[in-house]
Structures are given as C-alpha cells and as structure tokens.
Structure 1
Amino acid sequence: MLAVLCIGAAELTASYFLAPELFARVTAPLRSGARAAADWFDRTAEQWSALTAKAEELSSADEQTAGEPMLSDRDMLIDPSLTELRSVNGEEILTGGTIPLVYFNQSDPEWADKPYGSDNIGRYGCGPTAMAMVVSSLCDEPVTPSEMAALAAKQGYCAKGHGSYLSIVNGIARAYGLESKAIGALTVDAVYDTLLAGNMLVALVGPGHFTGGGHFIVLRGVTLTGKLLVADPVSDERSLMEWDPQLILDELSASRNNGAPLWVISPPTEK
C-alpha cells in the first residue's frame, strides 16, 4: 500500500502501459484492499437489512406455527365438480379458481425440513409457501417453497421462531413484478369483485377453521353459489372445500399494517 502511495499518478500511468507486470504487482495490495472493502460493505448491508427487519410488525396473535385449527371443518363440503387437485406436467394444480393454481403444501417431505432462516418450512413456512403458490401461478416460472423460503429469509422476512413478518407479501410480490395492495373494504362484495377481476387474495387468518394462531392462506376463486375456494399451505383437504366468505372475513387477523389482513395480488402489468 505504501508503495502505491509513494508512486505518483504519472508514474503509475506510465507503468500501466510500459510495464504492465510492474503495475499489477504494485497495485495488487490496493486492488485487494478495495475488493475486501467492497465485500465487507456488501456483507454489512445485508446483515444490517436482516438486523433491522420489521420485528415490531408481528404481534403474538399473528405468529404462524403449523398445527391443528381451533375449530373443526367437518361440516365443509368437498365437490370434485367444483375443484380438484390434479397432477399436470409434474405440478399439483388446484382447478376451478380464478386461474389454475400451482399448489404446494409446506409439510411435503421434499421441503418440510428445509431451512426457513434458522427454522424449517414444515413448521413455520406458511408465508413463503403461500407466496410460492401465488408467484408460480401468476408468473411464468414455478418457484418452490424451499426457493421462496431462501429468498424470504435473505430479504429479512423470516421472524425467527414465529413464521413470517407481514411485509413478506408486498415484498415478495414486488420482487417478482406483481402488484400487491390492501383490499380496502373488508366486505364480501369486495372479495367477489377482486377475485372475479382475475386477481388472487392472500389472507392472514387468526384462530378458527384454519389455525390455532396466525396463518397465511390464498383465496383463489368464487363458485356459482357464492362460496370461496382457497389454497391452504398446510392442508390439501381444506384446499378442496367450499368456504363461506363471511366466515373467512370473520376469521381474518386483527392486524392492519403492511396491507394485512387481506392483500390483492394482481398479475404482472403488460408492457
């Protein structure tokens, strides 16, 4: 480094053209130091982003841990003429919704034990699994829950031991060029209008028919009788049931930040 400081700009310029080997040897310490500094700043920025993730966003009521729901769903109907789970070209597809939905279950052995930050997808990954379904269905390329969990953790959306921060929905949607916003009015008509316009809804629900705590699900369509079709990241069976829209609205989380409890996800805008 001292050698570089003791050589003037003119001498360095001359050696660059007349003695490139000398130039490389003299400037090696400087270039190495610059690379190290750049690497340090990159790592520091990433660590700072993770450290300053929105820890204040997640209330205890919204913590997501896979488990049994508080209420039974045994009275809900399954009608194969309305929706089915089909295997198409190696993907599991839920039919009958706004568009065919690529379905993933967070407890699938293929990724249940894969990491979500320092946790695992099977127990804490309803957020990235729900977003993997939305992105895979609305974009050109499928994204698995393990891939989505890795991205979400890197961007600071993993709430260690508690699931995901609510900012995961807007953040991941934006990362894939999707439009995401709060629905506005939490009414049955607003849900109908949103789904019938070709959008999907990501819902954060609280204790009830889907969970005993907090849980992300996807609302994916409306039946001719006005029931809702969903995609539940932890239950194939509940994903095949018809749901009363008011029941789902009644079980939404009480949180009202970062777009919660109901996000409208729209396909990429044509350019």
Structure 2
Amino acid sequence: SIKNVNSGAGTFTVTVDQAPQGRQIKNIRVAAWSKAHQENLYWYSATPTGMHTEITVSANNHGNEAGNYTTHVYVDYKDGGVEGFNLGQTALSPRNQKVNPQTTYYSQRDPRWAGKWYGVSNVDQSGCVPTSLAMTFTDILGRTILPTTVADYLYNNTDSFNKGEAGTDSDGIVAATRNWGLKSQLVNGAGGIAEALMAGKHVLAAVGNSQFTSDPYTHELVLHGYDNGRTYVRDPYNSGNNGWYSINYLHSIKSKDPMDNKLGAPFFSIFA
C-alpha cells in the first residue's frame, strides 16, 4: 500500500507486509515514474525488515518533477517466484525547499587531538565518526562539544570505537546520540536522506571508495542543508572536500562495510 503522502516534499511511502503463513519474501523492488514514456523511471530496492517493510519514494530521484507518479511493486520470493502489484498513481507537487546548512567544523587531524590514542588507533586515522558527531552535537545543542569528548565517551562506555578494529560501528552513533539527549533514526535511500535534510535534520553518512576515501577504508561525513537535490557536506578529514553535493551521488557511494551497516544502512538522521 501507499501511505504518508507529502505532496509538497515530494515523497510517499510504499509498505509491504509479509503474510504470516505466506511465501517468504526475499527482496522488494519498486518502480516509480511520472512521465508518459517513463523518462524519469527510478528503481528502489529493499530487503525485508521483519514482517513490515517501508520504502520511501522521493521526487528527488525523478528529476524533482511534479505530476502523477505511477508505482509498481515487484516481490521476489525465496522459492524463486515473483509477484507484481500496481499501486496506481500518486500526485506529487514538490517545491524546491531550501534549508541553509550549519557550518561548525572540526578536523580529526587537528593537532590538538589528532595524535590522541584510543585502543588500536588514534583520532587522526580513525576518528571520523566522533569528529562528525561533535560537529553535529555542537550545531544542534548550541554549545561546544569537542571530538575528544565524544571519543572519550565512546571508548570508555561502549564497545563500538577502536575495540578490535579501527573505527566506530553504527551502535556507537546511536549510543552517543542518546547520551547527548538527542534522537537518531536509520535512513534508507536517497529519498529518505532528502526528506530528513528538508526537515532540517543532520545526516551522518558512511561512504566508501570515492573522492572522500579509498578502498578498503570507509569514511564518515556530516550532511546538513538542502537545495534542489543537493546537500552541504562537511568532511572531517579533508576540509577541501566541504561543499554542496548531489544527494543521489552521495547515496551511490555509500559504504558497504558491515560496521557501517550493522543496523541496516550507513545513514542516520540526528535531531532534537
């Protein structure tokens, strides 16, 4: 079914439920478009999340076009079968919302803390998540929170940071956010990222091989602000990368590392 239609934001949610005694769902594919000849067709894909799965469709993935969006859902079953559903048309009239970014910036390579050692590594080499969280917390709370303050909390109170291997897993993002009295939410798809950013939320994004990092490493970025399908990126390792980027591009370079996807996706919105 379709729910949560937000015409102005250009989004709606497709829901798929697993029948308790039915064939087991392996994968869900959603095709949506608004142009007569499917010129802005975009495919969404998701693996089931328990008995109920939600997929956000966003006009941002379809050229930000206003119109009636046709939605087809294809369910791939574990027995090899496929079933299709036509959910009809949904009217969207997305407006170009502009949310100005906040620009608090910390570098994990700052000599004040770059060499500080936690477990198997130091802030310079593996402190991108604590540094990104410090930027985000400082923005939202309006008071200075340093990368070392976040790193101290993560290392001393969780098993998520530099324990066994360098870096911070998704559980650490959730735990630190809760410790500072804020909320975090897993974000799926480019449309979900855009929706969070249009709502003024910060998004922490773990990315893989790209201009931001090289295999086999991954890297955390802070996303905030929205302007016509783009968002402002703050890179804690290289300030030269700071600037406006396409949300679709950022989603396309998402990390596939298990640490970053421990909770289902490598993107988290953070908000008060």
TM tier, smaller: 0.5 to 0.7
Residue 145 in 1 paired to residue 147 in 2?
yes
Report deviation, 1:148: 1.3
Query: Is the contact made by 1:180 and 1:265 (CA closer than 8 Å) also made in structure 2?
Result: yes
Residue in structure 2 matched with residue 31 of structure 1 by the alignment: none
Report deviation, 1:149: 1.1
**Equivalent position amino acid for 1:237 in 2:** G
Relative to the length of structure 1, the TM-score reads 0.58
Secondary structure at the counterpart of residue 201 of structure 1:
strand
Deviation digits for residues 195-238 of structure 1, max 9, x if unmatched? 11110100111111211121111111123x43221111101111
Query: Is the contact made by 2:161 and 2:169 (CA closer than 8 Å) also made in structure 1?
Result: yes
Separation in 2 of the partners of 1:166 and 1:134? Answer: 16
Residue in structure 1 matched with residue 271 of structure 2 by the alignment: 266
Unaligned 5+ runs, structure 1: 1-95
Deviation digits for residues 115-145 of structure 1, max 9, x if unmatched? 2335210111111111111111111321111
Counterpart of 2:235 (choices 232, 235, 252) is 232
**Equivalent position amino acid for 2:263 in 1:** N
Report deviation, 1:178: 0.7
**Equivalent position amino acid for 2:270 in 1:** I
Separation in 2 of the partners of 1:220 and 1:100? Answer: 7
Runs of 4+ deviating beyond 4 Å: 96-99
**Equivalent position amino acid for 1:263 in 2:** F
Separation in 1 of the partners of 2:105 and 2:99? Answer: 12
Unaligned 5+ runs, structure 2: 1-97
Q: 1:193 to 1:165 in 2, by over 3 A?
A: closer
Separation in 2 of the partners of 1:167 and 1:194? Answer: 20
Q: How many residues align?
A: 168
Cα root mean square deviation, aligned: 1.9
Larger RCO, structure (CA 8 Å, separation 6 or more): 1
Secondary structure at the counterpart of residue 210 of structure 1:
coil
More strand by proportion, 1 or 2? Answer: 2
Counterpart of 2:177 (choices 149, 173, 176) is 173
Q: 1:140 to 1:117 in 2, by over 3 A?
A: farther
Residue in structure 1 matched with residue 262 of structure 2 by the alignment: 257
**Equivalent position amino acid for 2:131 in 1:** T
Secondary structure at the counterpart of residue 101 of structure 1:
coil
Residue 162 in 1 paired to residue 166 in 2?
yes
Query: Is the contact made by 2:169 and 2:262 (CA closer than 8 Å) also made in structure 1?
Result: no
Q: How does 1:90-109 map to 2 (within 5 A)?
A: 98-109=100-111
Report deviation, 1:244: 1.8
**Equivalent position amino acid for 1:220 in 2:** H
Relative to the length of structure 2, the TM-score reads 0.57
Report deviation, 1:181: 1.1
Query: Is the contact made by 2:203 and 2:270 (CA closer than 8 Å) also made in structure 1?
Result: yes
Residue in structure 2 matched with residue 7 of structure 1 by the alignment: none
Query: Is the contact made by 1:98 and 1:200 (CA closer than 8 Å) also made in structure 2?
Result: no
Separation in 1 of the partners of 2:183 and 2:146? Answer: 20
Q: How does 1:78-117 map to 2 (within 5 A)?
A: 98-117=100-119
Q: 1:135 to 1:253 in 2, by over 3 A?
A: same
**Equivalent position amino acid for 1:162 in 2:** A
**Equivalent position amino acid for 2:209 in 1:** P
Q: 1:166 to 1:115 in 2, by over 3 A?
A: same
Q: 1:259 to 1:128 in 2, by over 3 A?
A: farther
**Equivalent position amino acid for 1:101 in 2:** T
Query: Is the contact made by 1:170 and 1:258 (CA closer than 8 Å) also made in structure 2?
Result: no
Report deviation, 1:99: 4.5
